[in-house]
A and B are shown apart, each in its own frame.
Chain A
Amino acid sequence: MKFSYLIVPFAPLAGALLAGLFGRTIGRAGAHTVTILGVLVSFIASVVVALDVFGNGTTFNGPLYTWMVAGGVRFEIGFLIDKLTVTMMLVVAFVSLMVHVYTIGYMADDPGYQRFFSYISLFTFSMLMLVMSNNFLQLFFGWEAVGLVSYLLIGFWFKRPTAIYANLKAFLVNRVGDLGFLLGIGLVLAYTGSLDYETVFDKAAGLKDIAVDLGWLGAPMWATATCILLFIGAMGKSAQVPLHVWLPDSMEGPTPISALIHAATMVTAGIFMVSRMSPLFEMSTTALSFVLVIGATTALFMGFLGIIQYDIKRVVAYSTLSQLGYMTVALGVSAYSAAMFHLVTHAFFKALLFLAAGSVIIGMHHNQDIRWMGGVRKHMPITWMTSLIGSLALIGFPFLSGFYSKDSIILAVGASKIPGATYALVAVTLGVFVTAFYSFRMYFLVFHGNERYDQAPHDDHHDDHGHHGDGKPHESPWVVTLPLVLLAVPSVALGAATLGFFIIDNGYAGAITVAPANDTLGAIRGGLHDWWAMGLHGFVTLPFWLAMAGVLLAWYLYVINPALPVKLRAQFGGLVRILEEKYYFDRFNEFFFAGGARRLGEGLFRFGDRAVIDGAIVNGSAKGVGLLSSLVRHVQTGYIYHYAFVMVAGLMVFLGWLLLRN
């Protein structure tokens, strides 16, 4: 155990505790100083660890302390430091650092300033503990802890009814996924006797032909059952259909956390988890197919929803859902490295897009509706340029980071032969067009065209800051634009720089296991030479032309002929309605699950507890005793002649019986 390993998660924790417990004492500047310092130290330590791991090939796997020994099972807290972990550590610490700095500007006027810094540092700690874990217990700890902080941050503006609705929804939907996750962990423990990754992976090899008796669900292979259950957990956290419903609503939280938690890091925990569990998932093609189909559905159908949104953050949110779908697809075709590759590039360009959206929101005095923006590029040049870079990276423009990771995924899907691969290929290819269209629809509406922000209906409840100046947007302060620039750099260059590691040189060998039959990346590796050749080739592939078509269509509809979208919307009312209703998931959940649970609870309470148990049985027996005694009471009249009569009558009956018997 190296000291630097401890520094990475615990420095942000220290910052969180200081800002959270002593926020009033240390003040605003104190709070952001300690937390930024904590995350900075964590980032530096991560870099030191990363250099060691990438440079010297060091790996570490060891316990920190024994959490508990119960029933002969040893539950430990410990770290596994390898290339996979280190990748996540760098992403988490860097994006977190950017978001911390950005927050100084974004939350400048907020009364909950210290609390906010405490939360995001606590999040950083939780996320780092999650990715550094060497066992399922700690993974679950981190898993739920990031969920807690997400809950606290979505509901950060706790006076808003929509925010406290959204955070409860997010927590509960995630809990549904966690139930699957917990049962998956149960199956791991039941069949391997351990929760330690290394032991589990070792023992799993011997469980290839073991079936699990699941009663009416039949008896699937152990690996299939376990992996699908674990993946259900990932579906909650990484917002895959049908557990995606919480993510769009999570936009109620302040923008910095949308970037950090709901785009770059927490929502990718599921992707990371499945990559980490690759030795298990590789044992079950059924589970992989399941993963693939869910991912493909999310990638395409959530993209469609981005097309009709007007809230700038919601467009980016649906884009995140769709991109998470791409990563999941990569997992499904065993291209774990490609999934991690896209996770990393996406973390930077999506954090950039969110923070840029936040910058626009500041400029727009907290108006988030893209219908009332337009022409912003002239007033906010840095935000404009960085947004453009982020958007191009997102749509996979050749040589930008998103291009390399997304194209790798599409190629891997093309090489896959597992059930569902054809569907997935169609979905991810079409998805490229959709992505380009919604991204540039937003881009053009915000940054080009006429300035429409003075036409906004002035009822926006989002305005917490209440400073309506001259109405013209201004470029945001340096604490906001600096993170944008620093994130734009990797959004451009990181893909080309790391293509070799992630794809061509198979850098995760040892950390990720791929069965030879599933090795899609191995199959495409021969066709890729280097970043330059791949980038050049990118201009002649179908995805590129689909993306260009999307951009051009967006340009035509929102710059050249802005009247047409309105007409189209009216024309295709039914289709638009389905999209506006988000395929009716929310309505169904609200009616069936939320409403159903309340109705069931009410019924059980009124009928079961009140009427049957308390009414009929408990109070009923009390009444029964009362009734009986009121009857018996008539026997005790107190009149001697009654008693004498009964005695005489009894005596006669008794004597008669004696006589007759003989």
Chain B
Amino acid sequence: MLLSLAIWVPIIGALAVLVTGRDRDPTLTRWIALIASIAGFLVTIPLVTEFDTSSAALQFVEKFAWIPRYGIHYHLGVDGISVWFVLLNSLMTIFVVVAGWYVIEDKQAQYYGAFLIMSGLINGAFAAADAALFYVFFEAMLIPMYLIIGIWGGPNRVYAAVKFFLYTLLGSLLMLVALIYLYNVSGGSFEISQYHKVPLAMGVQILLFIAFFLAFAVKVPMWPVHTWLPDAHVEAPTGGSVILAAITLKLGAYGFLRFMLPIVPDASRHLAPLVIVLSLIAIVYIGFVALVQTDMKKLVAYSSISHMGFVTLGFFLFTANGDASALGIEGGLLQMISHGFVSGAMFLCIGVLYDRLHSRNIADYGGVVNTMPRFAALMMLFAMANAGLPGTSGFIGEFTVTLAAVKQGMFWTAAAAGLTLVLGAAYTLWMYKRVIFGDVANDNVRALTDVTAREFWMLAALAILVLAMGLYPAPFTEIMQKSVHELVVHVAKSKL
């Protein structure tokens, strides 16, 4: 019941917003949207507080026949891997609503409606235990995001929206083929857990791996299928960027754990070097690319790709004997959660500046600290988290994954990934220096006003989350560990 609430409360809220929406007086719309997003978050809290950490199985399971003819079920359940993302998604939706409060002046009802619907759909994708149901949610969420970018986006929004849509659709169509194949070989079932068990020959596994990999790698995104992300971010409104970076990227990485590793473990082991190399390219190559960006949003978008490289790296750290790394997988998951907070916060910070100067160009700023000291302090924290400073959440994932790589006997992989210590600090703090530090650069900066109460509390709340997770990540891993352990054991067994 809880999971259904997590899906449908925001969607029903969205309907309420759309029905009552008036363009002339958006106050009611905003408040309904806020209440719906808060309610949507509140119903997910018991998922963690009542989570049974001694079990690796799916919990809070709901199962009803949906299309009996094809064995498709409305089957929901979360385990230690997926549960945090339902919470993260529901939480970030609140920030999106607050961030858009006075900023969105056009079609507010549709704006909030799209986000609330997307929130429900994303929860559905994370909670789906049925492959067909997963696919429906996975694809359906493209629509609100497409609309958000295409309607409320920047000047080049149509190109970005189409690029985003086609890129992701192309990958996921291959996944559909893979799922139908699995449906056939598993004797007519769409249960993901059935797919985990079905034996598959190596050739088939490789093909399935490629199909899934394309679908999820585009979403993460991994190099070289990443170029939609900077465009999408640059054109998307602040809220769109927040959800895109904080949540939808995570779905790709989640797919690696839910589909690829357990369904095609032998192919995963076999092709792990490929994923590792692509991850390292994402971390290092994209780190250099981020360094030279002149647009703040593009810079943070590239830094997202680089950070997500740690996630995919952590998932595929197999030893020479073929053992997956629990440390690496947990590190990847922690990196996903943290990146949700940190990238969300970075985009909100850029949004705060953009709302004032209507520019994302680094060169248009300089010396912002003189006029916006409170904002500068908050952004310093997020910049440091983005640079992976210990004590912030940004540190945990990178630290754990790097350690895991050394532990798995891959010293040079760790060394290459570790370059992010320097690169991440370089691109983030160099941007911070040019935007925030220095003397007041121009009259626009001189006229800036510091954060309003709304903006302050929005960022302060994220700051607290970033620090709390950085100082005490134990609760996160406590919930994950059983499921991750189970996954590692499962992946170690051959399905040939």
Residues of A near any B CB (own CB < 8 A): 65-73, 140-141, 143-145, 148, 151-152, 155, 158-159, 161, 164, 168, 171-172, 175-176, 178-179, 182-183, 185-187, 189-190, 212-215, 597-598, 600-602, 604-605, 608-609, 613-614, 617-618
A164–B477 CA distance with the chains assembled, in angstroms: 38
Q: Which of B322-360 contact A (CB under 8 A)?
A: 325-331, 334
**Per-position contact with A for B460-488: 1 when CB-CB < 8 Å, else 0?**
00000000000111101110010010000
- 0 or 1 for each of B269-306: is its CB under 8 Å from A? (1 = yes): 00000000000000001001111110000000000000
- Would A187 and B406 count as touching, CB distance under 8 A? yes
Whether A601 pairs with B290 at a CB distance below 8 angstroms is yes
Is residue B163 contacting chain A, with contact meaning CB distance below 8 A? yes
Q: Does B391 contact A (CB under 8 A)?
A: yes
Residues of B within 8 A of A171 (CB): 425, 429
15 additional A-B residue pairs with CB within 8 Å, beyond A183-B418, A190-B407, A190-B409: A68-B396, A68-B476, A71-B400, A144-B390, A158-B438, A172-B422, A176-B422, A186-B407, A186-B414, A189-B403, A214-B412, A598-B291, A600-B288, A601-B288, A602-B292
B477:A70 contact, CB within 8 angstroms: yes
Please report which residues of chain B, range 198-224, place their CB below 8 angstroms from some CB of chain A when the two chains form the complex.
Answer: 224
Given known contacts A148-B389, A601-B289, A214 and B411 CB-to-CB distance under 8 angstroms: yes
B103 within 8 A of A: no
Query: What per-residue 1/0 map shows which CB atoms of B398-413 lie under 8 Å from chain A?
Result: 0110111111010110
Give the contacting residue for B285; candidates A73, A152, A213, A604; CB below 8 A. Answer: A604
Q: State A69–B437 Cα separation when bound (angstroms).
A: 38
Contact B390–A145 (Cβ < 8 Å): yes
Q: A164-B438, A168-B430, A186-B405 are in contact. Are A70 and B418 (CB under 8 A)?
A: no
Q: Are B411 and A183 in contact (CB under 8 A)?
A: yes
B65 at the interface (CB under 8 A from A): no
Tell me, in angstroms, the Cα distance from A525 to B472 when the chains sit together: 47
Residues of B within 8 A of A (CB): 163, 167, 224, 227-228, 285, 288-293, 325-331, 334, 367, 369-370, 380, 384, 389-391, 395-396, 399-400, 402-407, 409, 411-412, 414-415, 418-419, 421-423, 425-426, 429-430, 433, 436-439, 471-474, 476-478, 481, 484
A613 vs B222: C-alpha distance when bound (angstroms): 13
| Shortest beta-carbon distance from A620 to chain B in Å | 12
With A and B bound together, what is the CA distance between A182 and B390 in angstroms?
A: 12
Q: A71-B327, A144-B389 are contacts. A179–B289 as well, Cβ < 8 Å?
A: no
> Do A72 and B327 touch across chains, with their CB atoms under 8 A apart?
yes
Please give, as numbers and ranges, the residues of chain A lying within 8 Å of B477 by CB-CB distance.
68-70
Given A67-B474, A71-B327, A183-B411, CB of A141 within 8 Å of CB of B369: no
Tell me if B289 and A609 are in contact (CB < 8 A).
yes
A189 to B471: give the CA distance in the assembly, Å: 20
Distance between Cα atoms of A159 and B439 in the complex (Å): 5
Residues from chain B with a CB closer than 8 A to the CB of A614 are 227
**Cα distance A282–B171 in the bound complex, in angstroms:** 55
A70, A73, A141, A605: the one contacting B289 at CB < 8 Å is A605
List the 6 shortest-distance A-B pairs measured between CB atoms, nearest first.
Answer: A71-B327, A186-B406, A601-B288, A71-B326, A601-B292, A601-B291
Minimum distance in angstroms from A111 CB to a CB of chain B: 10
Residues of B within 8 A of A158 (CB): 369, 436-438
Complex: how many Å from CA A598 to CA B288?
7
A143: chain B residues at CB < 8 Å are: 390
Q: Which of B415, B426, B474, B476 is the one whose CB lies under 8 Å from A179?
A: B415
CB-contact partner of A73 in B327, B380, B436, B472, under 8 A? B327
Q: Which of B227, B327, B380, B426 contacts A597 (CB 8 A)?
A: B426
Q: How long is the Cα–Cα vector from A73 to B484 in the complex, in angstroms?
A: 14
B367 to chain A, nearest CB (A): 7
Q: Return A619 CB to nearest CB of chain B, in Å.
A: 9
Q: Specify which chain B residues have a CB less than 8 angstroms from the CB of A148 in the assembled complex.
A: 384, 389
Give me 22 A-to-B residue pairs in the complex whose CB atoms sit less than 8 angstroms apart, sorted by A's number.
Answer: A65-B472, A67-B473, A67-B474, A68-B474, A70-B330, A72-B327, A73-B403, A141-B390, A161-B438, A164-B438, A179-B419, A179-B421, A182-B421, A183-B414, A190-B407, A214-B411, A597-B426, A598-B291, A601-B289, A601-B290, A605-B293, A608-B289
- Say which residue of B325, B396, B409 sits within 8 Å of A213 (CB atoms): B409
Say which residue of B367, B405, B429 sits within 8 Å of A159 (CB atoms). Answer: B367
Cross-chain contact B327 with A69 (CB below 8 angstroms)? no
Which residue of A is nearest B477, CB measured? Answer: A70
Closest to B326 in A: A71
**How far does the alpha carbon of A604 sit from the alpha carbon of B430 in the complex, in Å?**
19
Output the least CB separation between A151 and chain B (Å): 8
Nearest-neighbor residue (CB-CB) of A126 within chain B: B391
Most buried by A among B369, B391, B423, B476: B391
Q: How far is the CA of A69 from the CA of B439 in the complex (A)?
A: 45
Give the distance to chain B from A110, nearest Cβ to Cβ, in Å.
Answer: 14
Given known pairs A597-B426, A601-B288, the reply for A183 and B406 (CB within 8 Å) is yes
The contact of A168 among B400, B419, B429, B472, by CB within 8 Å, is B429
Contact B430 A597 (CB under 8 A): no
C-alpha gap A214/B410 in the complex (Å): 9
Question: How many angstroms from the CA of A152 to the CA of B167 in the assembled complex?
Answer: 42
- In the assembled complex, the CB of B213 is this many whole angstroms from the nearest CB of chain A, namely 17
B54 to chain A, nearest CB (A): 14
Q: Are B437 and A70 in contact (CB under 8 A)?
A: no
B399 neighbours in A (Cβ, 8 Å): 140, 182
Q: Which residues of B contact A152 (CB under 8 A)?
A: 380
Partner of A172, one of B328, B389, B425: B425
- Distance in Å from the Cβ of B161 to the closest Cβ of chain A? 14
> From residue B266, how far is it (CB to closest CB) to chain A in Å?
22
Q: Are B473 and A186 in contact (CB under 8 A)?
A: no
A214 to B389, CA, bound (A): 27
Q: How far is the CB of A385 from chain B (nearest CB, A)?
A: 39
Nearest CB in chain B: distance from A604 CB, A? 5
With A175-B422, A179-B418 in contact, do A605 and B292 touch (Cβ < 8 Å)? yes
A604 to B281, CA, bound (A): 11
A152 to B429, CA, bound (A): 11
A597-B402 in contact given A604-B285, A618-B227 (Cβ < 8 Å): no
B389 / chain A contacts, CB cutoff of 8 Å: 144-145, 148
Q: Which B residues are in CB contact (< 8 Å) with A212?
A: 411
How far in angstroms is the closest Cβ of chain B from A199? 15
Bound together, the chains give a CA A412 to CA B265 distance in angstroms of 58
Question: In the complex, A618→B165 CA distance in Å?
Answer: 13
Residue of B nearest to A600 (CB): B288
Are B439 and A182 in contact, with the CB atoms below 8 A?
Answer: no
What residue in chain A is nearest B291 (Cβ atoms)?
A: A601
* Residues of chain A lying within 8 A (CB to CB) of residue B419: 179
Chain A residues whose C-beta falls within 8 Å of the C-beta of B404 in the assembled complex: 71
* Chain A contacts for B384, CB-based, 8 A: 148
Question: Is the Cβ of B227 less than 8 Å from the Cβ of A609?
Answer: yes
Q: Taking the nearest CB of chain A, how far is it from the CB of B421, in angstroms? A: 5
Tell me how far the C-beta of A78 lies from the nearest C-beta in chain B, rounded to whole angstroms: 14
Which of chain B's residues have a CB closer than 8 A to the CB of A190? Answer: 403, 406-407, 409
List B contacts of A155 (CB < 8 A). 437
* A70 with B481, Cβ < 8 A, contacts A182-B421, A618-B163 known: yes
Q: Is the CB of B285 within 8 A of A608?
A: yes
Complex alpha-carbon distance, A68 and B479, angstroms: 11
Query: Whole-angstrom distance from the CB of B299 to the nearest CB of chain A?
Result: 11
